Structure formats: structure tokens, C-alpha cells
């Protein structure tokens, strides 16, 4: 694996305004702090995992990177170019090029395929839009893609409702790969699939990465699939990163108290496994009004110090590419 | 402990749709002892929920129970009249649904939903019922129950809603609790809280529980016995330890191997080829044979395997279970 960065995110912030409906005008009554100042780089050919519970800002991050929801502030560099500038320049060709190189696989394959299009139309649509392949080769490309994701040629004329969840996700992956992307954002690609089918899709993603050297940004709340597929992982809590590390490092020596609790609460398929479960008290606070200091402070099991309540901890390198945003954890 | 509470014999629940008859549950047999937790495991469409709904006689239209017996303390629930069943639902057997967001009524506050259940089955005044309800919220560890009881479901988080649903299910101290994927809609840290709560309450109240789930990790920590379902039939039924360390049905093995493990990082996951069969026209013979690596032409394709007791208290529905045992890859891996 090389260390050329494909994607660099610097101080990304995404706030959603919260409005109340007045008689004439909307009034802004607050903001949802979906993503609050996160920075990370994804290197070429690696799978970078973004982990966290629902509402922590994983999907908001991904959508901000693609400019589906433009970020409130911060910079996103894709292959050296600032994504925001490209979109603001209104240069259609540059935007199209960017959209071609970053592709997205959505969480729910039941909602992300147009029910009125055949599989052939769905997979060829990106070819029509980006037109990087001559027209007479579209059908060859279609069949090549179908074979690549483990579908048959006769599936091309069918409609999405004729397929199972796993097959639909294969179609989504084929559609994303049609334009030869460099970065594939996979947003919970296996969350809605059954266990036996989940393994098929995870293996497919790995095979495709080995074959085409695609970089993945893999978003999930399921730590066991993350452990399986990712090279590096960032753990998110309430819009902020609490820990970034190599996968093995993170799973073997988690430093942040939230990561520790998260890992300990995964049920292990082994009746004899004796793990000490760290029970987190309470629930995730509202992102409209997050805690002022460390966002994890109200649920933290470590000793509460004065500074935890007042100052947000910075991500600090503790060696070997392992970053953690907790002063108490660094001391140990 | 070994007193039998519920026994299902050869239950068949079919759904009559315009496309054909969906054999959602096709000959399921299982038993639950008093005070025991049974894990009902299977993928979507395997008939887990329909089995549980059949027990309470609340199979949605166009579903119909067309055969079998459901014996609760020796009485067949399928012979009961509707008004007799109403006395059993909620009081003897309670149900927790998968999604707390849809199983609580959005237009009533928690208090009235709990009081309704309590007054349905117990002869108490409104005031007494309310006191009981607050007490229940305390049991399910909800902070400030006196305040939270007047909340409406939308004012509560997912974990809190599921706690409310648990409180409602426990309100009449049922002997059997059917928990249908109670943690699937929740986050892992909240899932851990709810599972812990169910485990503690079960011990405290001494009730039996059926835990329906697709997550092998969840049952490993909670269940005493496990029944594995596939495409509307039972594959294997045994104690939790036996299922995990000595599974005899190829499907159980494949299911265990397909789960990515936290401890072990394998280069490639083992895959079960294909997808879950269509239940309108299920495969002939053993329903798992098109996806089974041990399937034998002329044997598995023709003969419907019966659930047989191959070891004491270890039931397996596979014709070739004993032949293929020696080849099991899991044997070496397990302790």
C-alpha cells in the first residue's frame, strides 16, 4: 500500500440549520452539529473505516465530501484538488470528472435503484452521462460489469424488484464501478443484508479492491465487518473523531474510553467468551446542544476532571499513527 | 427447571397471496421449558416471527395456521376461542416487537398505554394501575419514572421506547415473553443495555423467554437453548454450547462461519452461495440442499429430512448429518 493521499479532509464542519415556521418567514432556532471539525486522509488503495453509532455524523461526512450537502466550512482535497473550488467554479467538465472519480454505494439497495429502469439502463446510465467509453462498447462494458459483480448476462433485461437484497447491492456496486472510480464511498453497504449474503458482498468488495486498486471509504456501525475489511479506522462520536488508528491497533489496544465501551458491547458469537462489558450510562446527547467540553464527558467512565467539562480535547498522536482525543487515555 | 411450558408440534402457517401460497412456517416443532431462554435464530424469511405470531394467534391476513399444535401447559392454543386467547395474550404470554417506534401508539402517552394493559388483566383501580406502571418503569431502569410516564413515544429515544415496550410486556408478569428482535433497531451500546436488562429481569421474575434474532452474537450471551430455522423448517435444536461447539447441520455451521469475527481476522469470509429460496415453491427434499456443500443428488434432493435426536437433547434435520460429521472444518477450530 502506498501512502499517496487520495482524499484529504481538513477541519470539515457540517451544521444543519434548525428552523421553526413563523407566519411569514422561517426563523432559525438553532443548528444541528452533525460534523464538527474533523480531519483525516485516505491513502491510495486502502480501506478507511468510519465507525460510530447512529446520528454521529458518518453519512453527513460522506455527503459533504461529495458535495451532495455542501460543507459549512473546511477543505476537502481529492487527488490534490479542492472539491469546494471545483464546484464553485461551475466548470461542468471538472465537476463531472470529479463525480466520475468518486462514486457512492448507498445503504439501502431497495431505495437506491429506480424501480422503472432495467438493470441494463441502471448500469449504463453512468456511461451515458460521463461518455468516457465509446457508444459501441457500452454493451460489452455492461456484460463485463455484470460478470465482475457475480451476476449473469440475462439479468440485464430485468427490473430491480426481481432481485434479492444481495443481488441489488451487486447491481449498485456494478453501477458505481461503471465509470472506473478512484474512490468508492460505501455507506453501510451490508447493513440491510442477511448474514449469509453479507459475507458475499464483503468478499466481492475485497476482490474488486485487489483487482482495481480502488480506495474505499467504508462507513458502518458494525464493528465486526469493519475489522474484517478496513485498514485504518476512525471512531466518531457526536460529530467528532475520538480515535484514529490502524485496524489491528484499534481493536487490540483501544485507548479512548468510548472505543473501549463500543468494542466491549459487541455480542460475540461464542457462549464461553468472557468479556468485561463496559456499560455506558445514558444515551448520546442531542447534537443540537452538544456538551461544551469533551462530548463524551457526560457518559465517560474515566474520572471526570475539570478540563473534560470545559475544553474539547484535541486528537493527539500517541505513536504509530494512533491518534486519540482524550487526555486521560494518553496518560495511561 | 425441566417443566415443559410450551411445545409446538408440526406447526404450519401459510400465507395465501395472489402469487401463490407462501409456506412461511412449514412443520416447525420446538419446546420451551419453564424459566428457560430459547434463541430462535434464522435469516429473514426463515419463519421466526411468524412462528412467534402463531403462538399468540395474531398472524396477519392473508396468513392462516393450517396445521399442528401449540401446547401451552398442555392446552392447545389453536383450539381456544378468541375471548379465551385475549386472556392469555399479555397476561400469560407477552410480546415485544422489533421496532419500538411502531409498536407503541403515538397518540397516547406511556401512562395510558401501560394502564390499559394492567386494567385489562388485573382488577385494579386507575390509581393503583398507575402506581404499578411507575413501579414497572423503575424495574426497567428508566430515570425519573414519575415524569417520563406522561411522555408520548415521540419524546423518547429508541432505547427508552424499547424499555417502555419491555415494561408493557412485563406488566402482568407473563410466564413467557416473546422478544422479536428486540435490539435490531438499536445501536450497539444501547443493545448491550437492553440485553442486560432482559437477562436480569428474566432471572428476577423467573419467566421463560423466546429471543428471536438473526445475530449469533446476541444468542450466544443470552440463550440457554437455540433452535435454528431455515426457510420455514427447523434445522437444528440443541443447547447453546452444542450449537456453537458441535453443530451438526451444515446450515448452522455455514452460518457460524459466515459471521466476521472480531477476534479472528480471516483473509476471506466463507460464503453460503446463492440466496434464501422462494417459499412459494421451496426446493424439493431438504430446503437447504441447493446451497449446501454436502448435498447429494438423489438423497438430499428427494427426501425431506425429519428432525431426529442424534445425541441426547440434540435434534438435527439432516439426512447426512452423521456421514459428514468427520469432515467438519469447525471441529478443529473450536475448543
Per-residue pLDDT tens over the stretch A27-49: 788 888 899 999 999 999 999 99
Report DSSP state, residue A259.
Answer: H
A310, exposed or middle or buried, with CB in 10 Å at 0-12, 13-18, 19+?
exposed
Rg from Cα positions in chain A: 21
Mean pLDDT within A180-204: 87
Q: Cβ–Cβ contacts within 10 Å for residue A138, how many? A: 17
Report DSSP state, residue A153.
Answer: G
Predicted pLDDT at A223: 86
Mean pLDDT within B205-210: 90
Confidence check: pLDDT of A271 > 70: yes
The 10s digit of each residue's pLDDT in A196-222 is: 788 888 888 998 999 999 999 999 988
Mean pLDDT within B311-334: 69
C-alpha–C-alpha distance, residues A87 and B318, integer Å = 60
What's the pTM? 0.83
Facing residues of A14 across strands?
A: A35
More confident residue, A106 or B329: A106
More confident residue, B208 or B279: B208
Angle at A267 between CA A264 and CA A269, to 5 degrees: 130
Angle between helices A257-264 and B188-205 (to 10 degrees): 50
C-alpha–C-alpha distance, residues A185 and A76, integer Å = 14
Which residues of A fall within a CB distance of 8 Å from B241? 271-272
CB B163 within 8 A of CB B141: yes
Predicted pLDDT at B185: 77
Specify whether the backbone of A164 is left (phi greater than 0), alpha (psi in -120 to 50) or beta.
beta
C-alpha–C-alpha distance, residues A241 and A315, integer Å = 8
C-alpha–C-alpha distance, residues A204 and A219, integer Å = 16
**Cβ <8 Å between A195 and B192:** no
Chain A residue with CA closest to B223: the answer is A271
CB A219 within 8 A of CB A50: yes
Confidence check: pLDDT of B328 > 60: no
Facing residues of A28 across strands?
A: A19
Cα within 13 Å of Cα(A175), Cβ side: 27
Confidence check: pLDDT of B131 > 70: yes
Chain A contact for B228 (CB, 8 A cutoff): no
CB A213 within 8 A of CB A44: yes
Mean pLDDT within B43-47: 84
> A286: which 3 cell numbers?
442531542
C-alpha–C-alpha distance, residues A17 and A19, integer Å = 6
Report DSSP state, residue B79.
Answer: G
| Range in A87-101, A124-138, B135-149, B253-267 the model is least confident about | B253-267
Specify whether the backbone of B292 is left (phi greater than 0), alpha (psi in -120 to 50) or beta.
beta
Chain A contact for B144 (CB, 8 A cutoff): no
C-alpha–C-alpha distance, residues B78 and A87, integer Å = 65
The 10s digit of each residue's pLDDT in B156-169 is: 888 888 888 888 88
Look at residue B62 and give its three-state secondary structure: coil
Predicted pLDDT at B335: 37
Report DSSP state, residue A224.
Answer: H
Which architecture does CATH list for B4-229?
3-Layer(aba) Sandwich (3.40)
CB A301 within 8 A of CB A261: yes
Chain A contact for B214 (CB, 8 A cutoff): yes
The distance in angstroms from the start CA to the end CA of chain A is 31
CB B266 within 8 A of CB B11: no
The 10s digit of each residue's pLDDT in B236-251 is: 999 998 888 888 898 8
Mean pLDDT within A89-118: 89
Peptide bond into A18 cis (omega under 30): no
Cα within 13 Å of Cα(B249), Cβ side: 33
Predicted pLDDT at B331: 43
Report DSSP state, residue A314.
Answer: P
The 10s digit of each residue's pLDDT in B93-106 is: 999 988 887 888 89
Q: Where in chain B is the domain with CATH 3.40.50.300?
A: 4-229
Predicted pLDDT at A331: 60
Predicted pLDDT at B274: 78
Predicted pLDDT at B332: 43
| Range in A215-219, A235-239, B300-304 the model is least confident about | B300-304
For A227, the closest of B159, B187, B265 (CB atoms) is B265
C-alpha–C-alpha distance, residues B233 and A49, integer Å = 38
Q: How far is CA B283 from the centre of its chain?
A: 24
* Strand pairing class (A183-187; A215-220): parallel
Predicted pLDDT at B334: 42
Specify whether the backbone of A170 is left (phi greater than 0), alpha (psi in -120 to 50) or beta.
alpha
C-alpha–C-alpha distance, residues B46 and B37, integer Å = 20
Dihedral sign for Cα A192, B215, B245, B313, please: negative
**Alpha-carbon torsion angle A200, B256, B320, B335, nearest 10:** 140
**Cβ <8 Å between B192 and A227:** no
What is the DSSP annotation of B293-327? Answer: TT--TTTTTTPPPP-EEEETTEEE--TTHHHHGGG
Candidates A161, A270, A281, A285, partner chain B, best to mutate (most B CBs within 10 A): A270
Residues on chain A bordering chain B, Cβ-to-Cβ distance under 8 angstroms: 53-54, 164, 166-167, 194-200, 202-203, 206, 221, 223-225, 227-228, 247-248, 251, 261-273, 277, 279-280, 283-284
Q: Cβ–Cβ contacts within 10 Å for residue A225, how many? A: 25
Residue A125 sits at φ, ψ, to 5 deg, of -55, -45
Look at residue A8 and give its three-state secondary structure: strand
**Average pLDDT of chain B?**
85
Report DSSP state, residue A136.
Answer: G
Q: Is residue B330 very low, low, confident or very high in pLDDT (cuts 50, 70, 90)?
A: very low
Report DSSP state, residue B92.
Answer: T
Angle between helices B158-170 and B188-205 (to 10 degrees): 10
Candidates A195, A201, A273, partner chain B, best to mutate (most B CBs within 10 A): A195
Complex ipTM > 0.85: no
More confident residue, B322 or B175: B175
Confidence check: pLDDT of A24 > 90: no
Mean pLDDT within A223-232: 89
Predicted pLDDT at B2: 66
**Average pLDDT of chain A?**
87
**Cβ <8 Å between B217 and A266:** yes
CB B287 within 8 A of CB B231: yes
Specify whether the backbone of A55 is left (phi greater than 0), alpha (psi in -120 to 50) or beta.
left
**Cβ <8 Å between A196 and B271:** yes
Which residues have CB under 8 Å from B75's CB, separation 6+? none
Confidence check: pLDDT of A88 > 60: yes
For A194, the closest of B193, B214, B254 (CB atoms) is B214
Amino acid at each position: 500500500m502506498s501512502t499517496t493521499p487520495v482524499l484529504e479532509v481538513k477541519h470539515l464542519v457540517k451544521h444543519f440549520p434548525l428552523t421553526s415556521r413563523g407566519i411569514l418567514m422561517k426563523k432559525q432556532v438553532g443548528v444541528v452539529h452533525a460534523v464538527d471539525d474533523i480531519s483525516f486522509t485516505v491513502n491510495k488503495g486502502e480501506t478507511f473505516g468510519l465507525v460510530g453509532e447512529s446520528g454521529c455524523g458518518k453519512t453527513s461526512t460522506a455527503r459533504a465530501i461529495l458535495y451532495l450537502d455542501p460543507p459549512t466550512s473546511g477543505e476537502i482535497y481529492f487527488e490534490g484538488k479542492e472539491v469546494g473550488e471545483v464546484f464553485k467554479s461551475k466548470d461542468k467538465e471538472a465537476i463531472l470528472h470529479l463525480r466520475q472519480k468518486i462514486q457512492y454505494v448507498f445503504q439501502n439497495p431497495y431505495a437506491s435503484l429506480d424501480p422503472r429502469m432495467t438493470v441494463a439502463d441502471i448500469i449504463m446510465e453512468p456511461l451515458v452521462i460521463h461518455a468516457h467509453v465509446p457508444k459501441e462498447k457500452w454493451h460489452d462494458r455492461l456484460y463485463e460489469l455484470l460478470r465482475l459483480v457475480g451476476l449473469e448476462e440475462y439479468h440485464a433485461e430485468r427490473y430491480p424488484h426481481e432481485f434479492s437484497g444481495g443481488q441489488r447491492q451487486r447491481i449498485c456496486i456494478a453501477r458505481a464501478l461503471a465509470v472506473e472510480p478512484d474512490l468508492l464511498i460505501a455507506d453501510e453497504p451490508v447493513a440491510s443484508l442477511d448474514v449469509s449474503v453479507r459475507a458475499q458482498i464483503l468478499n466481492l468488495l475485497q476482490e474488486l479492491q485487489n483487482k482495481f486498486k480502488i480506495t474505499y471509504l467504508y462507513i458502518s456501525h458494525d464493528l465486526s465487518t469493519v475489522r474484517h475489511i478496513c485498514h485504518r479506522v476512525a471512531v466518531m462520536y457526536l460529530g467528532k473523531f475520538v480515535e484514529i488508528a490502524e485496524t489491528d491497533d484499534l481493536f487490540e489496544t483501544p485507548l479512548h474510553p468510548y472505543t473501549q465501551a463500543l468494542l466491549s458491547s459487541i455480542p460475540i458469537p461464542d457462549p464461553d467468551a468472557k468479556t468485561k462489558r463496559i456499560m455506558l450510562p445514558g444515551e448520546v446527547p442531542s447534537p443540537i446542544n452538544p456538551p461544551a467540553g469533551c462530548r463524551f464527558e457526560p457518559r465517560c467512565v474515566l474520572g471526570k476532571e475539570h478540563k473534560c467539562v470545559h475544553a474539547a480535547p484535541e486528537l493527539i498522536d500517541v505513536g504509530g499513527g494512533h491518534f486519540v482525543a482524550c487526555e486521560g487515555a494518553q496518560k495511561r | 427447571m425441566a417443566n415443559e411450558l410450551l411445545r409446538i408440534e408440526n406447526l404450519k402457517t401459510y400465507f395465501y397471496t395472489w402469487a401463490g401460497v407462501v409456506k412461511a412456517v412449514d412443520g416447525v416443532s420446538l419446546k420451551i421449558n419453564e424459566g428457560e431462554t430459547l434463541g430462535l435464530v434464522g435469516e429473514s424469511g426463515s419463519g421466526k416471527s411468524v412462528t412467534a405470531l402463531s403462538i399468540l394467534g395474531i398472524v396477519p391476513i392473508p396468513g392462516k395456521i393450517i396445521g399442528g399444535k401449540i401446547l401451552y401447559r398442555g392446552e392447545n392454543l389453536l383450539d381456544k376461542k378468541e375471548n379465551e386467547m385475549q386472556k392469555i395474550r399479555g397476561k400469560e404470554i407477552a410480546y415485544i416487537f422489533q421496532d419500538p417506534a411502531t409498536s407503541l401508539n403515538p397518540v397516547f402517552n406511556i401512562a395510558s398505554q401501560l394502564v390499559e394493559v394492567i386494567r385489562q388483566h388485573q382488577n385494579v383501580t386507575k390509581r393503583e394501575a398507575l402506581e404499578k406502571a411507575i413501579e414497572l418503569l423503575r424495574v426497567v431502569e428508566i430515570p425519573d419514572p414519575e415524569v417520563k410516564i406522561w411522555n408520548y413515544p415521540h419524546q423518547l429515544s429508541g432505547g427508552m421506547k424499547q424499555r417502555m415496550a419491555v415494561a408493557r410486556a412485563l406488566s402482568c408478569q407473563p410466564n413467557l415473553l416473546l422478544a422479536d428482535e428486540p435490539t435490531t433497531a438499536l445501536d450497539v451500546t444501547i443493545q448491550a443495555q437492553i440485553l442486560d436488562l432482559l437477562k436480569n429481569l428474566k432471572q428476577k421474575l423467573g419467566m421463560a423467554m423466546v429471543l428471536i434474532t438473526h445475530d449469533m452474537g446476541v444468542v450466544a450471551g443470552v440463550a440457554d437453548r437455540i433452535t435454528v430455522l431455515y426457510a420455514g423448517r427447523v434445522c437444528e435444536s440443541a443447547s447453546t454450547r452444542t450449537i456453537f461447539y458441535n453443530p451438526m447441520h451444515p446450515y448452522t455451521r455455514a452460518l457460524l462461519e459466515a459471521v466476521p469475527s472480531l477476534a479472528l481476522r480471516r483473509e476471506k469470509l466463507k460464503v453460503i452461495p446463492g440466496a434464501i429460496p422462494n417459499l412459494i415453491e421451496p426446493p424439493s427434499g431438504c430446503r437447504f440442499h441447493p446451497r449446501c456443500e454436502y448435498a447429494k443428488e438423489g438423497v438430499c434432493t428427494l427426501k425431506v429430512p425429519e428432525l431426529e435426536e442424534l445425541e441426547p437433547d440434540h435434534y438435527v434435520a439432516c439426512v447426512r448429518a452423521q456421514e459428514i460429521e468427520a469432515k467438519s472444518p469447525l471441529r478443529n477450530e473450536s475448543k
